[in-house]
Structure 1
């Protein structure tokens, strides 16, 4: 509304969208930016460690978010973004009346910042004994993660890697739960260009030295909950995973 009003009041002004320019500049990080992201990654890992301590049957999403957010802030994250989902229903904010249940996934998404630069990490945990499609989904996500880590290279189009990941889900009959777009950029925002989930054209882009990418971003959306494993990786002559941590799938 205000934008349209501004245009109406200023008909002689030429308005230009500078987002493509700013995003193209932000996609390739300088060394000092990368150093901030590395510290943010260390903080994010501490948040996941806290999640492992506090996730219990009967706790609400809001309780878990509160514990993790406090841990991140105590370690220097000024504007942490934490999303906990104990239900397959998509929602951005934690609910005080949605509780962690047995035989369900709980997914923890963390964006920790340091000097305004973010690192992302996501882990999903299953409370119980995985069987059937739950077991298949865990196997598939592990395989997708390994493909992303191995195959995401300078000069290799994102869509080439995406096709291999899609093949894993197809082989395990999980395409009904699959969302295309396995990676996105990370920096001053927890999600920025290239965003292969929602900007289809960017799936034809190639990683470049200096990019910072999060993968595997797209979850499997099962009735039992969200299945996702995501880390933040610096692209260079060698890839550096700044949120590397071994975590169990089953709690």
Structure 2
């Protein structure tokens, strides 16, 4: 944990800050280890404080041993104000994209001696390189989702509704030991798969068409994310053509991952497959996203992204084609950037035929 605090100290030095105020769940957990739902971090060059309520006092002591644990009463602002008053702080950075307008104005009115400096992506950029412990937990999260999907396959039959399949899958994910779904499970049969974020409905799985399933689990705070498009029976040649193009796009992108390229560069590798066939207009504007304590975080593998890939980054590669009235196809793996390429962390077979 000390290495993460050192990164904050470096950020403070670069930005000319005396302190950082952190309240978002993901950043609070990443920098302190505390997983409770309520808390605020105050970081200076020589101090680390965690303010929470009495529900979490003992948990915070256990999870955040490098921090002074301060328990607030009914009004947390009184405690926050007193903690600030004990410190020599002139400039303080805050999470401008997650701190609510109301909370910011309330704290600022109580602590008027400080200049409040808005931060945007600075903390996210620190989190984009995963350490060994994070990678270990992400592997476990993916293993749970792989096993749940393996158990689901024998249960899928034509005539089942999308909702039935989603319920079965979420039950199996829980059975294998997750903290909850990483996001709303997507199950879309036949032409409904052309909706990239389809909500499961009463629509039934049909013979000779596709079934798209996109889901993930949360394990010890870290997410997994996977999509598979299954063949149900024997889809026609047009549908198979879309399917094979998406798989080609994924395979080419995985082969081309390397440190030093940008998110835009990698997106272009997969996108070129669709341009070649005149189908690029049916794809989305991005190829993938970072995965960690949030289901969408840095790096962004999208058009015009100048973010440079580095060893230790973990992200999805998920090309897709979404053709209204005909079909939707997406296939998604999670990869880890290595020194000379990438490792595919997802272990579920890409082609599944029911």
Same fold (TM over 0.5): yes
Considering only CA atoms, is the larger Rg found in Structure 1 or Structure 2? 2
Residues 239 and 41 (structure 1), Cα distance of their counterparts in 2 relative to 1, 3 Å cut: same
Extract unaligned runs of 5+ from structure 2: 1-98
- Say how many residue pairs are matched: 245
Which residue does 1:183 correspond to in 2? 288
| Distance of 2:213 and 2:152 partners within structure 1 | 8
1:48 to partner: Cα distance: 2.1
Residues 89 and 231 (structure 1), Cα distance of their counterparts in 2 relative to 1, 3 Å cut: closer
CA contact (8 A) 1:138 1:249 kept: no
| 1:243 paired to 2:349 | no
| 1:48 paired to 2:149 | yes
Which residue does 2:329 correspond to in 1? 227
Structure possessing the higher relative contact order (Cα contacts under 8 Å, 6 or more residues apart): 1
| Distance of 1:7 and 1:112 partners within structure 2 | 32
Higher strand share: 2
1:4 to partner: Cα distance: 5.0
| 1:210 paired to 2:329 | no
CA contact (8 A) 1:184 1:192 kept: yes
CA contact (8 A) 2:239 2:327 kept: no
Residue by residue, what CA displacement relative to the aligned partner does 1:45-94 show, whole Å, maximum 9, x if unpaired?
11221332232212111111111111111111111232212212344532
Secondary structure at the aligned position of 2:347 is classed as: coil
CA contact (8 A) 1:112 1:118 kept: yes
| Distance of 1:245 and 1:7 partners within structure 2 | 45
Which residue does 1:85 correspond to in 2? 188
Residue by residue, what CA displacement relative to the aligned partner does 1:131-154 show, whole Å, maximum 9, x if unpaired?
343122111111111111110110
Output the aligned Cα RMSD.
Answer: 2.4
